[in-house]
Each structure stands twice: as C-alpha cells, then as structure tokens.
Amino acid sequence: MARAMFEYTKTVLDKVSFDASLFCKEVKKALQRLLPHEIEELRLWIVALTKQNPELNQCLIYLNT
C-alpha cells in the first residue's frame, strides 16, 4: 500500500509541475503521508525534476528540513 502512495504522489507532482505554488503544496502533503525512506527517494526524484523545471527549486526547502 505504501509503495502505491509513493507512485501516486509522483504522478500528482508530475501533473502539477506547471505551477510552482501548487507543486509546493503537494510536496508538503507528500511529506505528511510518505515513509522516511520514501521521502528520501522523493527528494532525489524532485531534484532530477527541478533540473528540467528550475522554477520548482523553491520547493526543495521543504525537503531539507
């Protein structure tokens, strides 16, 4: 079940990546729902995504806390 939530979270984040504020809101939600090892995996995925969409860099602050 938890792995399904991780995959769902990535799908949602990918779909809202056009809007940085919406993306940040979804990142905050993901941090409340995912397991610690999934959060680290999500951080790596978001770092790769921000290389394609630099405007999403502002959301990395939530992953560093």
What's the pLDDT score for residue 63?
A: 85
Please give the Cα distance from 44 to 1 (Å, whole number).
21
pTM of the model: 0.87
Please give the Cα distance from 37 to 55 (Å, whole number).
26
Contacts of 59 (CB under 8 A, 6+ apart): 20, 23, 24, 27, 46, 50
Please give the Cα distance from 19 to 33 (Å, whole number).
21
pLDDT tens digits for range 13-64? 999 999 999 999 999 999 999 999 999 999 999 999 999 999 999 998 998 8
- Per-residue pLDDT band for 3 (boundaries 50, 70, 90) equals confident
